[in-house]
Structure 1
Amino acid sequence: MFLISELGLAGTGLATTAMLVIIVASILNFIWLVIYRLYFSPLAKFPGPRLVAATSWVEFYHNYWRRGQYIYEVEKMHDKYGPIVRASPTLLSIRDRDFYSEVYVIGNKRKTNRDNTFEGLDFDGSHILTIDHDLHRLRRKPMEPFFSRLGVTRLQSAIAAAALQLESRLRELKGTNTVLSLELAFSAFSSDVIRKICLGSSAQPGEGFLDAPDWGVDWYNTVVTLSLSIPLLTAFPWIVKSLTYVPDGILQRCFPDGTMLKSFKAKTREQIRKALNGVQEKDDKEISLFHRLDLDATSESERSEDRLAKEAQTLLAGGTISVAHTIAFAAYYVLSRPAIHQKLTDELRDPMSEWPEKVPTWADLEKLPYLQAVIKEALRLSYGVMRPLPRVSPDEPIQYKDWTIPAGVSVGIAPYFLHNDPEIYPNPKKFLPERWLGDVNPEMHKSLVSFARGSRNCLGINLAYAEISLLLAAIFRPNAPKLELFETDDSDVVRIHDYQIPFPRLESHGVRVMVS
């Protein structure tokens, strides 16, 4: 008994010693990391707050606890330190519209890598979050024909069908006093379009979100939850990967949002299986995007279900929320500003006179100056993305004025800064479509970077413009369903929270309408 007690005490002592060693080692490692970042890092020479240079927890505090407010802290840094600042231990932020094209370059000018900022989202197999320049090009190339101008032109009938179905759903609500969220309705529209691209003929009639009585609210809430969780998930990358192993009952009690994230991953895998189980030939003009990725994969790892599921997650989520939010943003200002509403309706009178028997092409709608002015102003103030999208030059330094940015360093320019530049957009916070009419300052187009630029720009830019143009034309033409705002004001659309996807006040119910 005495021997057992001694062994027990010895074991306890060893465990305590081991724990102390781990704690001391962690403290020493943290101290060394801070010293390295402040004095030896390639970014040590750049201006900015010392605390921000030392730890990423400053950014986490403002984005998680203060709910997407770090972009405004970076703005204050620029006000104090100048056009280039160290915005985190690993990121340089530049506030200079003239340098945008030097950071976001095309592939034949300089290779561009991505950093690992969004590692915690577990989308690392997707083309969007692929770090290496060459691998990114390899993964993106098979998808480009689907989103080119020609590819989107071929898709016009599907976009028109979704717009007409949405209009029919709106007509069903006439006189019922039903309150509808436009973000939800428009997300059903954009989701069905991107599902058609991704699934091809596997997207069966009657299975879309526009067919659902609730407009696919669970899917929309899941994508919103994912967006709002970005600060937490990127700070703790292990969270998403661990969700698979947690029983749903425990997850629901301890981390309710995790249930939605787990469901999101399961739904996208289901979509991949559905597309790949369909029989399609390689030269089939109606081939789905997912099937094309499978056929064109250069290795087994590239065609694995896990990688394709991650591609599906980024395409389905990205194709849902950004477009829907932009259309709802534009719709609010049209509905709340009678003068804008009247001008837009008057311009649409002739082009939409034979709708839906005759559908104007995207090219036709591009020629309507006031419609396009409304769209550009909506893109400017809804941003798409507010914060800097980090880019890395892997092989050669970048020269910015007197500053040499070493190869391998993350650098970005925030669209929020460009879109609110008073020198380019006088009275920048005000929604003024007229600023895009007449003799327009070329710098306005240059500074509108909602879809980014360069070799890693948004793949869906053409699709987004086509969707936004046609749906706004359909719902604001003469004889369209009459929408009336319900308990909605500017605070329900003005973006003040940066969660990668920008949001208005988080207590908002969005842009709500009734059909009269």
Structure 2
Amino acid sequence: MTASSTFTPTPSAPGGLPLLGHAHLLARSPLPFITSLRRHGSVVRIGIGTTPAYVVTDPALTRRVLVTDAAHFAKGGKIIDALRVFFGDGLATVADGDTHMRNRRQMQPMFNKAHIARRGAAMIDRVGSLVASWKEGEARDVYADMNDITLAAFLVALFGTDLPENLQGDFTALMPAIMKGTIRQTVLPSWITRLPLPANRAHAERVARLRHLIDQAIDHRSNTLDTGGAEEAGCPHAKAAQEQEGLFATLLTAVDPLSRQQLQDEAITLLTGAIETTGTTLAWTLYEITRHPGIEQRLREELDAVCAERPLRYEDLEKMPYARQVLQEAIRKYGPAWMVTRTATEDVDLGGHRIPRGADVVWSPYLHQHDPAYFPDPEVFDPERWSPGRAGATRGSFLAFGDGRRKCIGENFAWSELQIILATVLRTWPRLELASRPPAPQAVVTVKPDVIRLAYYGSGQRETGGTPGK
């Protein structure tokens, strides 16, 4: 939709400084600043340095950017450009066009519900063994634990149950530093990230090491598939081999296969998405549970009603609607993403505001999901918002997974992984206690906690794949 000749003047946010624009506010108090823009209009102009950007505060207009008029708002902008250095041309960062559509079609079968269900038992076993290994009463870094567990579960799902232990260990050791470096690259000016500084060189070396690990995992999976390819459909080993292979086998056996570089890019994108957003959500969820005994009790009652004394099964997840409500409220309250960018491909009329060609257009899941017009008392943690009788009122304003043709391809997987990990923690440990001060949210790529430490107690654990404290 090309821009019209009559426009509503686009208001500028107050507080801008020469040369810096609003960068100092985005750096010092990003969440209060981004949510404050709502009161200035449905589209608000800010300065990121000397570059203007247009923040969309109305969820209906954001849906136009993502869905209705998506052809005029390409995947791009400062955040995407910075992430592209790390992700390459994975689904999250590749430009709109034939390559994106081709790769998305190739990957879509990996994330249908039936395909994910085949990985359910392996994920439950892996998560259970890790959660049961924690020492009773030890104050643990919840954010680090949740990132480690989500990575371990996703590695099992992505590359299969027979991934060599040394590769699993290398991934686990490398990814926290990779994520820290990627965040640094995102928030710093591009000219700084291009300098031959020690931190930049170290990050580049880690990324190269990660790509080497992914190559090894791909080769391992390819060799296994080649070895098992001659097995007849009725062979008793065929089912076991199929259970081992993992989601990534779908790409390796595609009729129109991706190049090795594309396989690396997609694996990095999937791993990073699985860790950062899922781990952040779980950390905030466990924190909120410690603050709300009534919510914790109801979660445990639901788990008991579904599982009784037996281990968790994948098919149990759909029978636990309250657990999903709790997780959805954590996603709603804490983001997880707080700022996402698009680039206008031509002069566009957006709600009567002129968006010039090449301008960054910013939308914020955090801003929309704290809009009191859709979420009364947005700072209150209230899972009942998502009960069947009330959830309809929020339609169109919950955008944590995006929307339109660039909507997160792994949403189904994310819900499964979130529910598996939450259920496993609660069934393994009968009591959780906050062992640190209340956390403060930090807006980096996601809205992460600055610190959360929990202690886990209880010797009356059920069978979950291990014995706590052992």
TM-score, structure 1 normalization: 0.73
1:63, 1:498 within 8 Å by CA — same for their partners in 2? no
Q: Distance in 2 between matches of 1:45 and 1:287?
A: 56
Q: Does 1:115 align with 2:76?
A: yes
Q: Does 1:415 align with 2:365?
A: yes
Q: Which residue of structure 1 lines up, in the alignment, with residue 107 of structure 2?
A: 143
Q: Which residue of structure 2 lines up, in the alignment, with residue 481 of structure 1?
A: 429
- Please report how far the alpha carbon of residue 166 of structure 1 lies from its aligned counterpart in structure 2 after TM superposition: 2.4
Letter in 2 for 1:130: V
Q: CA, structure 1 residues 219+460, in 2 after alignment: closer, same or farther (shift >3 Å)?
A: same
C-alpha RMSD of matched pairs (Å): 3.5
Q: Does 1:270 align with 2:213?
A: yes
1:84, 1:94 within 8 Å by CA — same for their partners in 2? yes
Identify which of 315, 328, 352 aligns with 2:307: 352
Unaligned runs of 5+ residues in structure 2 are: 1-6, 230-240, 459-470
Q: CA, structure 1 residues 115+424, in 2 after alignment: closer, same or farther (shift >3 Å)?
A: same
Q: Which residue of structure 1 lines up, in the alignment, with residue 236 of structure 2?
A: none
Q: Does 1:164 align with 2:128?
A: yes
What are the equivalent positions in structure 2 for 1:354-369 lying under 5 Å apart? 354-356=309-311, 359-361=313-315, 364-369=316-321
- Please report how far the alpha carbon of residue 95 of structure 1 lies from its aligned counterpart in structure 2 after TM superposition: 0.7
Q: Does 1:513 align with 2:455?
A: yes
- Please report how far the alpha carbon of residue 148 of structure 1 lies from its aligned counterpart in structure 2 after TM superposition: 2.2
1:352, 1:473 within 8 Å by CA — same for their partners in 2? no
Letter in 1 for 2:417: E
Q: Does 1:73 align with 2:33?
A: yes
Letter in 2 for 1:368: M
Computing the radius of gyration over CA atoms, which structure comes out larger, 1 or 2? 1
1:322, 1:501 within 8 Å by CA — same for their partners in 2? yes
Q: Distance in 2 between matches of 1:386 and 1:233?
A: 19
Identify which of 383, 403, 406 aligns with 2:335: 383
What are the equivalent positions in structure 2 for 1:433-444 lying under 5 Å apart? 433-437=383-387, 439-444=389-394
- Please report how far the alpha carbon of residue 464 of structure 1 lies from its aligned counterpart in structure 2 after TM superposition: 1.0
What are the equivalent positions in structure 2 for 1:276-287 lying under 5 Å apart? 276=219, 278-279=222-223, 280-281=225-226
Q: Distance in 2 between matches of 1:391 and 1:261?
A: 26
Q: CA, structure 1 residues 354+206, in 2 after alignment: closer, same or farther (shift >3 Å)?
A: farther
Unaligned runs of 5+ residues in structure 1 are: 1-42, 244-250
- Spell out, residue by residue over 1:106-138, the C-alpha distance to the aligned partner (whole angstroms, 9 max, x if none): 79x747521142323413322211123332222
2:335, 2:369 within 8 Å by CA — same for their partners in 1? yes
Letter in 1 for 2:352: D
Q: Which residue of structure 2 lines up, in the alignment, with residue 179 of structure 1?
A: 139
Q: Distance in 1 between matches of 2:193 and 2:256?
A: 28
Q: CA, structure 1 residues 51+164, in 2 after alignment: closer, same or farther (shift >3 Å)?
A: closer
Q: Which residue of structure 1 lines up, in the alignment, with residue 237 of structure 2?
A: none
Q: CA, structure 1 residues 441+116, in 2 after alignment: closer, same or farther (shift >3 Å)?
A: closer
SS in 1 for 2:404: coil
Identify which of 309, 313, 322 aligns with 1:370: 322
Q: CA, structure 1 residues 296+514, in 2 after alignment: closer, same or farther (shift >3 Å)?
A: same
The number of equivalent residue pairs is 431
- Please report how far the alpha carbon of residue 376 of structure 1 lies from its aligned counterpart in structure 2 after TM superposition: 1.3
- Please report how far the alpha carbon of residue 73 of structure 1 lies from its aligned counterpart in structure 2 after TM superposition: 3.2
Identify which of 435, 441, 444 aligns with 1:499: 444
- Please report how far the alpha carbon of residue 360 of structure 1 lies from its aligned counterpart in structure 2 after TM superposition: 4.3
Deviates more, 1:431-440 or 1:460-469: 431-440
SS in 2 for 1:334: helix
Letter in 1 for 2:448: F
SS in 2 for 1:91: strand
2:75, 2:96 within 8 Å by CA — same for their partners in 1? yes
Q: Distance in 2 between matches of 1:195 and 1:111?
A: 36
Letter in 2 for 1:314: T
SS in 1 for 2:67: coil
SS in 2 for 1:126: coil
Q: Which residue of structure 1 lines up, in the alignment, with residue 285 of structure 2?
A: 330
Highest RCO, 1 vs 2 (Cα 8 Å, sep ≥ 6)? 2
Letter in 1 for 2:127: A
Q: CA, structure 1 residues 449+288, in 2 after alignment: closer, same or farther (shift >3 Å)?
A: same
Q: CA, structure 1 residues 427+235, in 2 after alignment: closer, same or farther (shift >3 Å)?
A: farther
1:190, 1:467 within 8 Å by CA — same for their partners in 2? yes
Q: Distance in 1 between matches of 2:60 and 2:431?
A: 41
Letter in 1 for 2:97: H
Q: CA, structure 1 residues 390+98, in 2 after alignment: closer, same or farther (shift >3 Å)?
A: same
- Spell out, residue by residue over 1:444-476, the C-alpha distance to the aligned partner (whole angstroms, 9 max, x if none): 243221111111112221111001112212222
Letter in 1 for 2:216: R
SS in 1 for 2:447: strand
Percent of counterpart pairs with the same letter? 19
Q: CA, structure 1 residues 400+92, in 2 after alignment: closer, same or farther (shift >3 Å)?
A: same
Q: Which residue of structure 2 lines up, in the alignment, with residue 58 of structure 1?
A: 21
Q: Distance in 1 between matches of 2:153 and 2:168?
A: 9
- Spell out, residue by residue over 1:278-321, the C-alpha distance to the aligned partner (whole angstroms, 9 max, x if none): 3225989565555654665969xx6144x443333322222112
Q: Does 1:341 align with 2:296?
A: yes
- Please report how far the alpha carbon of residue 216 of structure 1 lies from its aligned counterpart in structure 2 after TM superposition: 4.0
Q: CA, structure 1 residues 504+188, in 2 after alignment: closer, same or farther (shift >3 Å)?
A: closer
- Please report how far the alpha carbon of residue 276 of structure 1 lies from its aligned counterpart in structure 2 after TM superposition: 2.7
Q: Does 1:154 align with 2:118?
A: yes
Q: Which residue of structure 2 lines up, in the alignment, with residue 192 of structure 1?
A: 152
Q: CA, structure 1 residues 439+374, in 2 after alignment: closer, same or farther (shift >3 Å)?
A: same
2:115, 2:247 within 8 Å by CA — same for their partners in 1? no
Q: Distance in 1 between matches of 2:38 and 2:214?
A: 44
Letter in 1 for 2:74: N
Q: CA, structure 1 residues 47+375, in 2 after alignment: closer, same or farther (shift >3 Å)?
A: same
SS in 2 for 1:113: strand
- Please report how far the alpha carbon of residue 431 of structure 1 lies from its aligned counterpart in structure 2 after TM superposition: 1.0
Q: Does 1:131 align with 2:95?
A: yes
SS in 1 for 2:455: strand
SS in 2 for 1:350: helix
Q: CA, structure 1 residues 202+63, in 2 after alignment: closer, same or farther (shift >3 Å)?
A: farther
Q: Distance in 1 between matches of 2:246 and 2:68?
A: 27
Identify which of 259, 272, 278 aligns with 1:303: 259
Deviates more, 1:463-472 or 1:160-169: 160-169
- Please report how far the alpha carbon of residue 261 of structure 1 lies from its aligned counterpart in structure 2 after TM superposition: 5.5
Identify which of 179, 188, 206 aligns with 1:232: 188
Q: CA, structure 1 residues 339+453, in 2 after alignment: closer, same or farther (shift >3 Å)?
A: same
Letter in 2 for 1:200: G
Letter in 1 for 2:12: G
Q: Which residue of structure 2 lines up, in the alignment, with residue 27 of structure 1?
A: none
- Please report how far the alpha carbon of residue 58 of structure 1 lies from its aligned counterpart in structure 2 after TM superposition: 3.3
Q: Which residue of structure 1 lines up, in the alignment, with residue 62 of structure 2?
A: 100
Deviates more, 1:345-354 or 1:116-125: 116-125
Letter in 1 for 2:289: V
Letter in 2 for 1:275: I
Q: CA, structure 1 residues 203+132, in 2 after alignment: closer, same or farther (shift >3 Å)?
A: same
- Please report how far the alpha carbon of residue 374 of structure 1 lies from its aligned counterpart in structure 2 after TM superposition: 0.8
TM-score, structure 2 normalization: 0.79
